Amino acid sequence: MTKLKINQAVKKDFDYDVLIIGTGPGGEGAAMNLAKHHKKVAIIERYHQVGGGCTHWGTIPSKALRQSVRRLIEFNLNPLFNQNNQVKQLTFQDILSHASDVINKQVNLRAGFYKRNGVEQILGEASFIDANTLHVLHSDGSVEELSAKQIVIATGSRPYQPDIIDFNHPRIYDSDSILSLKHAPRHVIIYGAGVIGCEYASIFRGLGVKVDLINTRERLLSFLDTEISDSLSYHLWNNGVVIRHGEEIDRVEANDDNVIVYLKSGKKMRADCLLFANGRTGNTADLNLSAAGLPADSRGQLKVNRHYQTEIDNIFAVGDVIGYPSLASAAFDQGRISALAMVDSSSEAKLIVDIPTGIYTIPEISSVGKTEQELTQAKVPYEVGRAQFKHLARAQISNNLVGSLKILFHRETKEILGIHCFGENAAEIIHIGQAIMQQKNGGNTIEYFVETTFNYPTMAEAFRVAALNGLNRLF
C-alpha cells in the first residue's frame, strides 16, 4: 500500500508510546500486547464503560438474547418440562435482563484486564489534531491534548442509517437501538437479511412475534455454502418467518401505533415496528481524520496493509473500522498483530487464512474453509462427508435433532478443504475441525477423524461419522 508522509515537527517527548482509540476487541488486543512489551499505553473510550460495540450493542447482548430464547423454545418443546402443553411466554424486555447481567460481567472483566496490565483508561471523545496528537473531550466539558509516537484507531462501526428513514421515531429501530425496545411488539418487520437481520428474526420468532424479513438479495447469507443457506431459509420459513427476497425499501410511514413499509416492487407491509439492519458504517466521522492526513472511504472505513498500518506510518487501524471480516474474534487478533508490528517492524505475524464464521441464528451456523461452490468453480476434485445430528446419541439425549455437519475434502490427498455445520452449538463444534485444518506436514486429512477415538456420546462424534461417510464415497 502506498504510504503518505506528513510534514510535521518531530516531537522529542510524547505523553505515551501508543494511544488507542476504542476499547472493543481490536483496541483490547492491541493494548494487552503492547503492555506485555512494556510500552506506555492509554486507551480512550467515549462511552462511559469499556467494551465497545461488541460488548454493549452487538455480539454480547444479541447472543445473550439468543441463548435465553433458545432455552425458552427448548422448554416449550420438551414434554419432560412442559407436561401440560402450557406454552411459557416471555417478552423481549423479560430476556433483556439476562443480557444486561452478561454485559456487566464483561465490562468488569475487561476493565480488570486494563488495570492489571497498567493500561491507562481515559473516558472521552478523541479526535486528531495531527498525526501524533489527539484532542480529548471529556463528559464534564473539559478538554486535554495527548500525544503518542503511535496511534491505533479501533473505533468499530455503527448501523447504517439512510436519510429517508426517521430513526428518531419510537417505532423505528436499528441494531443498536433495538436493545432499548420498550413495548412488546406482536409483529416486526426486519429490513436487511444479513447476519444481524437473520439473528434477530430468529430471536423475535422464538418469542412468538410475527416476523417479516426483507432481503435485498436473492438468497439468505449468500457467502455461505448453498446447502447451509438453504437450510436456514427452510427453518426460518418452517417457523413462520415470512421472507421476501430481492426487495428494496421505497419509503417508510411511521405512525403512533404502527409502521408501514412501502417497497419499490409496489408491495406494502404493516407491523408494530421496523428493525433496519442493512449495512454498517465505520466510526470515523468524528475523528477529524483530515488533520492527520488520513482519508476514509465512502463507508467510513480505512485502508491498511498486512500489519494494519494505514497510509500514515505511525497510525494503525483494526476491527470493524477497516471492514472485512468484521468479526470480534478477528478484531482481537488484528489488534495483537498490529501491536507486534509496532514493537518490531519486521514482525511476520498475520491473521490466519481460514477464519471461522459463527452465526447465532436458531439453529446456529458455523463454517471454516471453502464452500462447495468455490471448490467447484476452482475445479478442485473434492468429496463430501456428512453426519446428521438426529443420528447422534448425544443429540438424541439433548433433544437437539435438527442439524448436520459437512466436511469437504480433496479426493486424492484427503486434505480437509472446508467444514460447514448447521445446528445447536455449531460454533463450538467447528473448532475441532478447524484445529485439524491448521495442521502442517500432511496432518490435515479427513482420516484423522477415523483414526481418533472420540468421547461417547458427544456432538464431536459427528466428525467421525462424517469422515466415514465421505471416505465411503471414494472409489
According to the annotation, is 192 in a ligand binding site? yes
Map residue 205 onto helix, strand or coil: helix
18's enclosing H/E stretch is strand 16-21
**194 annotated ligand-binding residue:** yes
Cell 464452500 sits at which residue? 371
**What's the count of helices (H) and strands (E) in the chain, helices before strands?**
12, 22
Residue 79: strand pairing partners: none
Amino acid at 74: E
C-alpha dihedral over 72, 224, 332, 177, to 10 degrees? -50
Q: Report whether 112 belongs to an annotated binding site.
A: no
Q: Is 193 annotated as a binding residue?
A: yes
Bridge-based pairing state of the strands 172-174 and 259-263: unpaired
Closest by alpha carbon to 430, among 411, 410, 403, 394?
A: 403
17 belongs to an annotated ligand binding site = no
**Is 199 marked as binding a ligand?**
yes
Please give the DSSP secondary-structure letter assigned to residue 455.
Answer: P
Cell of 18: 501508543
Alpha-carbon distance of 294 to 297, in angstroms, equals 10
The answer to whether 46 is annotated as binding is yes
- Edge-to-edge strand list for the sheet holding 242-244: 172-174, 273-276, 187-191, 210-214, 242-244
> What residues pair up with 143 in beta bridges, in sequence order?
137
Any binding-site annotation on 53?
A: yes
> Does 157 show up as a binding residue in the annotation?
yes
Annotated binding-site residue? 266:
no
Does the annotation place 323 within a ligand binding site? no
| 284 annotated ligand-binding residue | no
Q: What is the DSSP letter of 286?
A: T
Task: Establish whether 388 is an annotated binding residue.
Answer: no
d(CA 37, CA 172): 46
Under a CB-based contact definition with an 8 Å cutoff, are residues 466 and 445 in contact?
no
Q: Which phi and psi angles does 448 have, rounded to 5°?
A: -55, -40
Peptide bond into 185 cis (omega under 30): no
Q: Is 198 annotated as a binding residue?
A: yes
Residue 423 is assigned to a ligand binding site? no
Asked if residue 54 belongs to a known ligand binding site, the reply is: yes
Q: What is the DSSP code (8-state) at residue 11?
A: P
* 49 assigned binding-site residue: yes
Closest by CA to 283, choosing from 226, 321, 332, is 321
Helix (H, G, I), strand (E, B) or coil at 422: strand
Please check whether residue 434 is in contact with residue 368, taking contact to mean a CB–CB distance below 8 angstroms.
yes
Query: Amino acid letter at 104?
Result: N
* 353 in a known ligand binding site: no
In whole angstroms, what is the distance from residue 137 CA to residue 143 CA? Answer: 5
The annotation status of 10 as a binding-site residue, yes or no, is no
Q: What is the DSSP string of 403-418?
A: EEEEEEEETTT--EEE
Instruction: Tell me if 197 is assigned to a ligand binding site.
Output: yes
Is 358 annotated in a binding site? The answer is no
- Helix (H, G, I), strand (E, B), or coil: what is residue 337? helix
Show binding-site residues for NAD(+).
192-199, 279
Show binding-site residues.
45-54, 63, 155-157, 192-199, 279, 320
Show binding-site residues for FAD.
45-54, 63, 155-157, 320
